[in-house]
Structures are given as C-alpha cells and as structure tokens.
Amino acid sequence: MVTRRGTAASGSGFGAGRAGTVAVLAAAAVAAAVLPAAAQPFSGSGGHHGRAVTVERGGPDRTVAFRTRHTGEAVLTLDSLAPGVSWGTEGSESAVVSVRVDGRYVTDLVIPSDRPIERSFSVGRLREGHHRLRFGFAQDRSPAGATRARVAGIAVHVARADRPEALVLRHAPVLYGRNVAALGDRFQSATTDTPLLAYHEVLPARIPGHKVLQYSVIWSNEDGGTDSPALMARWGRTTDIEWAYRVEVDEHGDRVPGTGVYQAANHRTLPFTGTYEGDRPLLETCTSNNNLCDRVDDPMRFSLAPDQSLPTGQPREHLMDTNPWTYPVMGQEMLREGKVESPPDPRTPALGDQRAYLYLAVAHTATPSDQTGSVGLAVAVRLKGDDKLYTSHHWIAGHSITRDGTAATTVELPAGTGAADITEVVGLRTPVRESEATVRVTRITRAFLLRQDYLPDASFIDWTGGMTLTPQAPAAVLWQPGG
C-alpha cells in the first residue's frame, strides 16, 4: 500500500509521503536539464525537486524534460494547487491542466484547491531514454473563476516488467469524463462527481498461476443513486466508490481473452467490448451515479494511477483515510450543491455539516451467514451530560449496515462535539426483515472527527473484543473511554 499526503500542512494523523522514484525531473518552466535516474523503482524518497511549473489561462504550455534509465510502465506523481480555486465555490470549483508526454495526451488534472495535493497518474509504457512532459491550462474545461495553476514535486516512477506494480499499471483502465445531457455541459467532471483516486485489488483466479485484477475509482459524489443521508449511514461518506474494471491475467501477465468486464449502468457486470490502449481499456462515466460505458466520446480524460491497494480487512473508505485531502473535497461538494441541512440538526436524518460526524469503521458478522441482508448493524453514541442516543441510521432500518466484514459508518453529533465528549459507543442490532439472526461485533478499527478544514483528526478508538447482539439483547456498549 502507498499512503498519500493531504495538503502541505495538513497535520492529519493519516497523512504520509509517497515512497519510490526512478526518474527525477527538474520542474522548470521550460525544458530543463536531464537529471540522473535513481537506482531502484519505487524506492527512496519521493523525488520532489525543482521549481514549480505555473500555467495560466491564455498562456503558453510549460515543458519539463526527463530521462528514464529503463523501459517500463510509468507513473507521474506531482503536487498541484490553483490560487483562488475551491471545490466549494460555484464558478471557481477547479482549474484543469492537461498533461502530455512526448506529445501524447495522457490525462486531465482537475485541481480542486488552493492548497497542494499530491496526485499520481498512469503515463503508460515508456522506453528507456529522453522524454518531455507538457502541462497546459485547459481553459475550455476550467471554470471561469480559475486563472492559473501550479504544479510542483514532479517525478516519474518507472516499474520494470518483472515488478508487481508493472502488471497493475499495464492493465489499468483509462476513464473519460461524464457528459450526461440532463446533468449539464460536457465538462461535468470539472465541477461535480469528479474522479479523485483509483486503486487496485489482486483477487484469486481458478486457474493456478492466474490472477484477477480489479480496479476501483473514488468519485467526489454521485448525483444519482443512493441519497446523501443513506450514504453517510451505510458507507460513512458521500463520495462514490465503485469497482470499474476487472480482468483475469495468466502467468505471463497477459490478458485472458473474454475475461475483461466493467460495471455498467444499473450496476450490471458486462463484457468489455470497447477499445484497448495497449492492455488498458477505455471507459467513460456515463450515468448520474457514475456507472460506466465502454464507448467513449467525452473530451476529458483521467488516467489515474491505481498503484494504491486495499489492505485485507479494511473497508474501501480506508483509501480516503490514507488520502485525507478527499474529505475536504467531499464536504465542499455537499455544501456547494445545497445538500446540507441548514441549520443542521442531528435529530433529523437529513445530511448535516460533515464536520459534526463521528467517522467509524466496525468489524462485524451476522449468523447465520445467509441472513446478512436481513439484519443490520447501527452504531450509536452517548455524550457527557446528554441523555440522547445519537445513531448512525436515525432509526431507519434500511440505513443500517447490511454487509459482513469491516464497514464504515458515521454518527451525526451536535456541532462542536469533541472526542473527549464521547462517553459510549454502542452497537445496535437492526432487523431489516423478520429474522432471528445475531450480529457479532469484534472491532472498531478507527474513529475520528473532521477538523474545521475538513481534514480528519487522529483516530482515538482502536477497540477489539466480542459482543453478540441478539433479538433478546439488541444493544451493547462496545467502547468507553479507558475501557
């Protein structure tokens, strides 16, 4: 797993620098001198050196030269910011920078903040030798309020063919933007439901020596599909996290014909019959809830590097925790789109200010296993001097967690609540349908609040135990301070 920073001075308990570099770039505004490459792929410091590249609306592109010492799959890592831009401000939501390598269009970079954010993008296969990066301000797709953008810490990381990273990068999907007519203009991905991150999982295959690669994407929100209160209760966030593409590869890393599938409209799994760029499928976000099509016609391109992986036993939201800058983007989109209750009231199920929620991840299982969807888990919180029980599901059974494993959820609390105010975390068995199933809760893996800048504060709960919730005893205290 690779962890990422939030902003240059986030102070978050989740932020950490990226490891690894092969080719270090001079981030000069015009073609810079070639620098020597590091000795090993994905090792050493982040390789963040040189001046910042600044591009302006109506101004010239900027070029950076670099050299790779061997051939392989390449990842571009950089820090980006755009002065005067905020994902929470209509008309200045982002600045878009288009990136090309050796004249080839690689990706758009949607910059949602005036504070630096570390991002990474798949560049494709590069041969040993000299190359050029070109950065251009994409004024046709940047909101009117954005006038310039700055990119720094530029590095290209190259993985040799025999490295596990190379296999993951070789088959990573390329995502094109959304242009659903009913939802706005063709550059929707510059202002709403933008792709933020990609990650991968390596799954077992039936044939010995084969592997299944699954790629997922985190979007800033979904304009359609599950509503915001249900997302917070059942998934612990209002971003949209979906698997995008899955493929089986053989012992040589080659795609097994006919095994490539993608998540299509209505969450269907369909065979991929579109265009490959090498081994990389071209997909497009084509529904209001970020399902995909295998025919592309949108001008915006996102080649997110899926080099991060989901550790075993962690919920998908773990990738947001290790990339904490995603939380401010999430919160700002909710505010800008008017999806936050005003004034917020934790007694109602409506979405409140997301800085007033406790963000938890809880491991649990239902018994018998075939009853997992019939009985859910909700989490409740008690506060000092307050008799009210604040619940994740607001007593709506369908908003409880109805999947086994470690799942994320949130509990809305009164504004200004701090970790020291929490006296109990309680597990609640919540029947969705008539069932005698039990729910066993075994761990709280993290619990944190958001700071005023929407970045996660440090987790203050790591509880391991065993509490069984039954029809006769449907509630149990899971954690108390000092317990």
Q: Render pLDDT for 192-203 as a digit per residue (tens, 0 to 9).
A: 999 999 999 999
pLDDT band, very low/low/confident/very high, at 104 (cuts 50, 70, 90): very high
Look at 3-12, 148-157, 315-324 and tell me which has the smallest mean pLDDT: 3-12
Instruction: Give the pLDDT score at 37.
Output: 28
Examine the pLDDT at 424 and tell me if it is beyond 70. Answer: yes
Instruction: Give the pLDDT score at 33.
Output: 26
The three-state secondary structure class of 414 is coil
Look at 9-18, 63-72, 156-165, 370-379 and tell me which has the smallest mean pLDDT: 9-18
Instruction: Give the pLDDT score at 428.
Output: 98
The three-state secondary structure class of 79 is strand
Q: In what order do the strands lie in the sheet with 375-383?
A: 386-391, 375-383, 422-431, 475-479
The residues facing 148 across adjacent strands are 56
Examine the pLDDT at 446 and tell me if it is beyond 50. Answer: yes
pLDDT band, very low/low/confident/very high, at 51 (cuts 50, 70, 90): low
Q: Say if CB 263 and CB 214 are below 8 A apart.
A: no
pLDDT digits (tens, 9 = 90+) for 136-186: 999 999 999 999 999 999 999 999 999 999 999 999 999 999 999 888 778
CA 382 vs CA 342, 350, 476, 481: distances in Å: 24, 20, 12, 12
Look at 27-31, 109-113, 386-390, 432-436 and tell me which has the smallest mean pLDDT: 27-31
3-state SS, the chain, equals CCCCCCCCCCCCCCCCCCCCCCEECCCCCCCCCCCCECCCCCCCCCCCCCCCEEEECCCCCEEEEEEECCCEEEEEEEEEECCCCCCCCCCCCCEEEEEEECCEEEEEEEECCCCCEEEEEEEEEECCEEEEEEEEECCCCCCCCCCEEEEEEEEEEEECCCCHHHHHHHCCCEEECCCCHHHCCCCHHHCCCCEEEEEEEEEECCCCCCEEEEEEEEECCCCCCCCHHHHHHHHCCCCEEEEEEEEEECCCCCECCCCCEEEEHHHEEEECCCCEECCEEEEEECCCCCCEECCCCCCCEECECCCEECCCCCCCCHHHHCCCCHHHHHHHHHHHCCCCCCCCCCCCCCCCCHHHEEEEEEEEEEECHHHCCCEEEEEEEEECCEEEEEECCCCCHHHCECCCEEEEEEEECCCCCCHHHEEEEEEEEEECCCCCCEEEEEEEEEEEEECCCCCECCCCCCEEEEEEECCCCCEEEEECCCC
Q: What is the β-pairing status of strands 104-111 and 148-159?
A: unpaired
Contacts of 184 (CB under 8 A, 6+ apart): 191, 192
CA–CA distance, 369 with 175 (Å, rounded to integer): 36
Instruction: Give the pLDDT score at 41.
Output: 28
- Of residues 98 and 26, the one with the higher pLDDT is 98
CATH number of 23-333: 2.60.120.260
DSSP 189: G
Q: If you search the block for the tokens 């908003």, which residue do you land on?
A: 399
Helix (H) or strand (E) holding 333: helix 326-336
Among 149, 144, 61, smallest CA distance to 113 is for: 149
Q: Where are the domains of the chain?
A: 23-333, 349-479
Q: If you search the block for the tokens 């649990």, which residue do you land on?
A: 364
Instruction: Give the pLDDT score at 40.
Output: 27
Examine the pLDDT at 9 and tell me if it is beyond 50. Answer: no
The three-state secondary structure class of 319 is helix
Q: What is the mean pLDDT of the chain?
A: 90
Helix (H) or strand (E) holding 111: strand 104-111
- Of residues 483 and 76, the one with the higher pLDDT is 76
Instruction: Give the pLDDT score at 340.
Output: 97
Fold agreement between 23-333 and 349-479: no
Average pLDDT over residues 241-262: 98
pLDDT band, very low/low/confident/very high, at 482 (cuts 50, 70, 90): confident
Distance of CA 447 to the CA centre of its chain: 18
Examine the pLDDT at 283 and tell me if it is beyond 60. Answer: yes
Instruction: Give the pLDDT score at 450.
Output: 98
pTM summary value = 0.90
Among 421, 428, 425, 430, smallest CA distance to 462 is for: 425
In CATH, what is the architecture of 349-479? Sandwich (2.60)
pLDDT digits (tens, 9 = 90+) for 359-412: 999 999 999 999 999 999 999 999 999 999 999 999 999 999 999 999 999 999
Q: Say if CB 244 and CB 215 are below 8 A apart.
A: yes
